[in-house]
C-alpha cells in the first residue's frame, strides 16, 4: 500500500492541476520530444513573456484532473506532454504554432479553449486569427471610412441647402 504522505502529495498535485485548468482561458497540450534544452528555454521564455505558464506533469495526474473536470483527454495523454496555461485564449496557440513552424519536433496535440475541447485542426485555425490589437485596428479603420463618408454626405447636403436659400 502506498504511503499516506505520497497519496496526499498526489492529491495536492491533482488539485493544483484542476486549479490551473479552472483559472485558464486556454490550456494547450503539446509534444516537446526532440527539442534541445536551449530550444525549450527559448519556448519557455516566449510563453512567460506572454503571461503563459509551461508545465510538465505526469499523464496519470493530468488524467485524474481532467476526469474530475469531465474532459475526455485519454487519447492525448500518451507519451511526454507539456501543457501551457494562459488567461488569453489565443496567445499560447499562436506562440506554439509559430514555434512549431521553426522546430519540427514540437507538435500540438489538443487544447481546451474557453472550456471547449479543440483538436489540432481547430488550433491551427485559431493560430491564424490576428491579435486583438490588429483586429481593433482593422475595426477602427473600417469605422473611420464610414465616418468620413458620412461627413462628406453631410457637407454636400449642407451646401445643397445653402444653394436653395
Rounded CA-CA distance 75/66 in Å is 12
**Residue 118 cell numbers, joined:** 479543440
Question: What pLDDT digit, counting tens, does each position of 14-54 carry?
Answer: 899 999 999 988 999 999 888 899 999 999 999 999 899 99
Residues in contact with 85: Cβ distance below 8 Å, sequence separation at least 6, in sequence order:
20, 21, 23, 24, 26, 27, 52, 53, 55
- Which stretches of 70-131 are DSSP H helices? 91-102, 120-127
Three-state SS at 69: coil
Q: What is the pLDDT along the chain (165 residues), one digit of tens a residue?
A: 568 888 888 889 989 999 999 998 899 999 988 889 999 999 999 999 989 999 999 999 999 999 888 888 888 888 889 999 999 888 899 999 999 999 888 889 999 988 888 888 888 888 888 877 888 888 888 888 888 888 888 888 888 888 887
For every residue of 136-158, DSSP letters joined together read: HHHHHHHHHHHHHHHHHHHHHHH
| Length, in residues, of the chain | 165
pTM score: 0.76
CB atoms within 10 A of CB 18: 15
Amino acid at each position: 500500500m502506498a504511503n499516506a504522505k505520497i497519496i496526499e502529495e498526489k492529491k495536492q498535485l491533482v488539485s493544483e492541476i484542476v486549479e490551473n485548468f479552472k483559472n485558464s482561458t486556454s490550456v494547450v497540450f503539446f509534444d516537446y520530444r526532440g527539442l534541445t534544452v536551449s530550444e525549450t528555454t527559448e519556448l519557455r521564455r516566449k510563453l512567460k513573456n506572454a503571461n503563459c505558464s509551461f508545465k510538465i506533469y505526469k499523464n496519470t495526474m493530468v488524467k485524474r484532473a481532467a476526469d474530475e473536470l469531465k474532459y475526455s483527454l485519454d487519447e492525448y495523454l500518451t507519451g511526454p506532454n507539456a501543457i501551457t496555461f494562459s488567461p488569453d485564449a489565443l496567445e499560447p496557440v499562436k506562440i506554439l504554432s509559430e514555434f512549431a513552424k521553426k522546430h519540427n519536433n514540437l507538435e500540438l496535440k489538443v487544447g481546451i479553449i474557453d472550456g471547449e475541447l479543440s483538436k489540432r485542426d481547430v488550433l491551427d485555425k485559431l493560430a491564424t486569427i490576428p491579435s486583438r490589437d490588429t483586429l481593433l485596428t482593422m475595426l477602427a479603420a473600417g469605422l473611420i471610412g464610414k465616418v468620413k463618408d458620412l461627413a462628406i454626405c453631410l457637407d454636400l447636403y449642407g451646401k445643397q441647402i445653402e444653394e436653395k436659400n
